């Protein structure tokens, strides 16, 4: 996903979320300040998690695609061998689960496997 695609995807998603919050407010005219805050946070955390995952994947893809910035083993400094894509689950601070599918690298010298850029 390039920068333009990310912008379009995030724009579309944020419009849906904003409409959803406005709709929810109409259906919950008695909601307290706290309830409104929780609902807005809950909906925005989905966009937040998506943005983090997309941005993280975008930089990882750039790193691997660009030959001049080869991913190096953090332990011994040797270039990592690509071992195909693997999934990795991360938790955002907002408590959302983010699944990243990206290149997995294995060090031919010491056998350490990592997901660059970390």
Q: Does 1 bind Zn ion (CB under 5 A)?
A: no
Give whichever of 1 and 76 is closer to Zn ion, judged by the CB atom: 76
Nearest distance in Å: CB 77, Zn ion = 7
Decide if residue 110 touches Zn ion (CB under 5 A).
Answer: yes
**Span 62-81, contacts to Zn ion by CB under 5 A:** 73, 75-76
Nearer to Zn ion, 1 or 75 (CB): 75
Q: Is 78 left (phi over 0), alpha (psi -120 to 50) or beta?
A: beta
The site that binds Zn ion (CB under 5 A) totals a number of residues, namely: 7
Residue 57 or 106: the one with the smaller Cβ distance to Zn ion is: 106
Please provide residue 83's backbone torsions phi and psi, each rounded to the nearest 5 degrees: -120, 25
Among 70, 81, 91, 109, binds Zn ion (CB under 5 A): 109
Which three-class secondary structure string do you get for 44-89? HHHHHHHHHHHHHHHHHHHHHHCHHHCCECCCCCCECEEEEEEEEE
Distance between CA atoms of residues 103 and 62, nearest Å: 11
Residues in touch with Zn ion (CB under 5 A): 73, 75-76, 107, 109-110, 112
């Amino acid at each position: 996903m390039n920068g333009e695609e990310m912008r379009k995807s995030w724009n579309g998603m944020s419009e849906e979320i904003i409409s959803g919050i406005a709709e929810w407010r109409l259906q919950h005219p008695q909601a307290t300040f706290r309830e409104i805050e929780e609902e807005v946070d809950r909906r925005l955390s989905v966009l937040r998690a998506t943005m983090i995952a997309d941005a993280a994947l975008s930089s990882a893809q750039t790193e691997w695609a660009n030959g001049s910035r080869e991913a190096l083993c953090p332990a011994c400094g040797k270039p990592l061998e690509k071992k195909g894509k693997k999934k990795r689950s991360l938790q955002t601070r907002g408590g959302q689960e983010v699944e990243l599918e990206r290149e997995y690298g294995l060090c031919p010298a010491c056998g350490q496997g990592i997901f660059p850029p970390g």
